[in-house]
Each structure stands twice: as C-alpha cells, then as structure tokens.
Amino acid sequence: MAFGRKNQVEEEIVTKDTKIWCCTAEDCKGWIRDNFKSSDSPLCPLCKSEMESQTKELQVLENPHPIMKS
Ligand SMILES: [Zn+2]
C-alpha cells in the first residue's frame, strides 16, 4: 500500500511557438500575443510605437481564442 505518498503527476507547462507582436522601440519591452492584437498592425500598449511580428515560445493558454460561441 502506498498511502501517504501521493504519486501525483506534476502539471507540465506546455509551451508552443506563438506569434506575438513586439514593440520596435529600443527601450520598451512591450509585446502582445497575436490573439490579443486590436488590429492588423497593432501599436504598443505601453508607448504606442509600431510593433513587429515575431515568434516566441510561450506557455499555452487554456483559452487562447476568447471567441464567444452561442
Ligand atoms: Zn512600446
């Protein structure tokens, strides 16, 4: 019997190459996920500079597409 010693599997952090938008301003660390951009050419939410698309390995969100289905 193995009571008292739970053999729980630790939740793995799943990461995935995710498209993001990075701020082009040198001193700014602003970035957003592509899912969250407000337009096709989003502006930095911090400094309003232009952003460029990149790919970054990010933790997968459980609900990456906040689309309401009715
Ligand atoms: Zn910025």
Residue 60: predicted pLDDT: 84
Residue 23, number of CB atoms within 10 A of its CB: 22
Q: So where are the chain's domains? A: 15-59
Q: Which residues surround ligand 1, an ion (CB under 5 A)?
A: 23, 25, 28, 30, 44, 46-47, 49
Contact at 8 Å (CB) between 29 and 22?
Answer: no
Give the pLDDT of the chain (70 residues) as one tens digit per residue.
Answer: 656 666 667 778 889 999 999 999 999 999 999 988 988 889 999 999 999 999 999 988 766 555 666 6
Q: How many angstroms is it from 18 CA to the middle of ligand 1?
A: 19
Q: CB count, 10 Å around CB of 2?
A: 6
C-alpha 40 – ligand 1 centre gap (Å):
17
Task: Read off the pTM.
Answer: 0.65
Q: What strand order describes the sheet that includes 15-23?
A: 31-33, 15-23, 51-59
